[in-house]
Amino acid sequence: MTMKKNNFYKSNRQKLISISIVFFAFFLSFFISFYPLLAEDVVLDPKVPPSSGGPGGSPTFGSLPDFLRWLFFFGLAAAGVLAVVQIAIGGIFIMVSGANESLLQRGKDKIWSAIWGLLLALSVWIILDLINPDLVSMRYSIPEINLRAPTSGTTPSFNGCANCISIANGDLRDRLLPAACSGGISNCQTNLALSEKLKGLNVAGVQWKITEACPPTVTHSDPCHANCTCVDVAIMQRGNSCDGVSKVISSAQSAGLKVTNEYVNCGGRAYDTTTGPHLHISL
């Protein structure tokens, strides 16, 4: 009688331990699935985009970095969901096993396999976070440099510049990309007042380059590119480039310049004439 009672307590204790493992694994599964989202300041702000994104076109959305980033988090969440299913099946096996040791062991194996899979998924996230936290950040964006080419066989219109200086021989030379002007760097120029204000855009920790100056390399909807009173600039910063975008915008506006943000991932908008993410800065 005592032996049967001991076996009864032992069996119940094993089931209690197994059920505890099931609940722990459920909690771990959901935590791993949704922790990357909880760790970020994600704001759900659904909006219907306007039919027109400004002069010359409608807004465009999405990029390869966006797709890869969301694919990673989708895979992580999918691993958690699949683990929950496996743990649920294993828990059912354990609870209906009774005296069937084979069924009990099968349930335990399913649960532990799911837990090891979750730990493997979590270790991938931890390793990437240790290498570079921006790799697992929802705000991560890959800076792009686009060398522009004329959209048609004709040279973009250039109205000349009455009050311009050469960028190639001035303080902004190091800010120029090789293909920023039609005719090469030696032909680059900009309005004198704009040049003086651009010299003051020395933002600590942020590098920016002029990707389009004057004469323009492509046809633009804004005529300022044809009279040299505006430039396009790109933020040369890996990781959280949105921080650099915000700093340059703030600095330019403080200098009395107008800024149009065409970084879609950083609160900006792209147009049909946009050839890549950049800031449009004008007098």
Give me the helix-helix angle, 101-131 and 64-95, nearest 10°.
160
Q: For the chain, 283 residues long, give each residue's pLDDT as a single digit of tens.
A: 445 444 544 555 565 565 666 566 555 555 555 555 444 444 444 444 444 344 444 444 455 666 777 777 788 788 888 888 888 888 888 888 777 888 888 888 888 888 888 888 888 878 877 876 666 665 545 555 554 444 444 445 676 677 888 887 778 888 888 888 888 888 888 888 999 999 888 888 888 999 998 888 887 778 888 888 999 999 887 655 788 899 999 999 999 999 999 988 888 888 777 778 889 999 8
Q: How far apart, in Å, are the Cα atoms of 163 and each of 130, 174, 189, 200?
A: 52, 22, 10, 19
What dihedral do alpha carbons 223, 184, 211, 224 form, nearest 10°? Answer: -10
| pLDDT value at residue 29 | 55
* Rounded Cα–Cα distance for residues 39 and 5 (Å): 49
Decide if 210 contacts 177 (C-beta within 8 A). Answer: yes
Decide if 114 contacts 90 (C-beta within 8 A). Answer: yes
* Rounded Cα–Cα distance for residues 13 and 243 (Å): 55
**In terms of Cα–Cα distance, which of 244, 232, 246, 253 is closest to 204?**
244
| pLDDT value at residue 52 | 38
| pLDDT value at residue 46 | 41
pTM above threshold 0.75: no
Look at the domain 164-282 and name its fold: Muramoyl-pentapeptide Carboxypeptidase; domain 2 (3.30.1380)
Q: Write out the DSSP string of the chain.
A: -HHHHHHHHHHHHHHHHHHHHHHHHHHHHHHHHHHHHHTS-------PPPS--STT---B---HHHHHHHHHHHHHHHHHHHHHHHHHHHHHHHHT-TT-HHHHHHHHHHHHHHHHHHHHHHHHHHHHHHH-GGGG-TT-----------SSSSPPP----TTEEESTTSTTGGGB-TTSSTT-GGG-EEEHHHHHHHHT---TT--EEEEE-BS-SS--SSGGGTTTSEEEEEE---SSHHHHHHHHHHHHHHTT-EEEE--GGGT--B-TT--SS-EEEE-
Domain ranges of the chain: 2-136, 164-282
**In terms of Cα–Cα distance, which of 150, 152, 191 is closest to 170?**
191
| pLDDT value at residue 81 | 82
| pLDDT value at residue 41 | 45
Decide if 176 contacts 209 (C-beta within 8 A). Answer: yes
| pLDDT value at residue 129 | 75
* Rounded Cα–Cα distance for residues 147 and 5 (Å): 81
